[in-house]
Structure 1
Amino acid sequence: MNTFTIVGLVIAFTIFLFLTQFYLKRRFNIHKWKGLTFKERNKYSIATELAIFFLFLYSYLSLNVESMNSAYSPIVRTSPMFGLFFLLSIKRGFEEWLLNRDQKVYYFEWVGSLLIIVAFFIIFIGER
Structure 2
Amino acid sequence: MGLGTTILGLVIIFVFQLLISEYFVRRLDIKRTKIGVFSKGRKKGFIAVEIILMVLFIISLYALFDYFLYSVSLSMTMYFTLTYLFRGIEEWVYKKENKDYFHEWLASITSLIMFLFFIGDMTLN
Q: Which amino acid counterpart does residue 124 of structure 1 have in structure 2?
A: I
Listed as ranges, the gaps of 5+ residues in structure 1 are none
1:51 aligns with 2:81: no
**1:6 Cα deviation from its structure 2 partner:** 0.9
Mapping 1:58-69, distance limit 5 Å: 58-64=59-65, 69=66
Q: Distance in 1 between matches of 2:32 and 2:73?
A: 32
Q: Which amino acid counterpart does residue 68 of structure 2 have in structure 1?
A: Y
Cα-to-partner distance string for 1:10-48 (whole Å, 9 max, x where unaligned): 110110011001x21133212353435532222211111
1:80 aligns with 2:81: no
Confirm or deny: 8 A CA contact 2:61 2:71 kept in the other structure.
no
Q: Which residue of 2 aligns with 1:31?
A: 31
Q: Distance in 1 between matches of 2:76 and 2:53?
A: 11
Name the SS for the 2:27 alignment partner: helix
Q: Which amino acid counterpart does residue 24 of structure 1 have in structure 2?
A: F
Mark the CA change 1:43 to 1:24 in structure 2 (over 3 Å): closer, same or farther: same
Cα-to-partner distance string for 1:28-75 (whole Å, 9 max, x where unaligned): 2123534355322222111111111112122221101xxxx2x422x2
- Structure with higher Rg: it is 1
Which of 76, 96, 107 is 2:102 aligned to?
107
Mark the CA change 1:46 to 1:32 in structure 2 (over 3 Å): closer, same or farther: closer
Q: Which amino acid counterpart does residue 118 of structure 1 have in structure 2?
A: I
Q: Distance in 2 between matches of 1:42 and 1:32?
A: 19
Q: Which amino acid counterpart does residue 33 of structure 1 have in structure 2?
A: T
* Residues paired across the two proteins, number: 121
Confirm or deny: 8 A CA contact 2:32 2:103 kept in the other structure.
no
Q: Which amino acid counterpart does residue 119 of structure 1 have in structure 2?
A: M
**1:78 Cα deviation from its structure 2 partner:** 2.8
TM-score by length of 1: 0.84
Question: Alpha carbon RMSD of aligned pairs, Å?
Answer: 1.8
TM-score by length of 2: 0.85
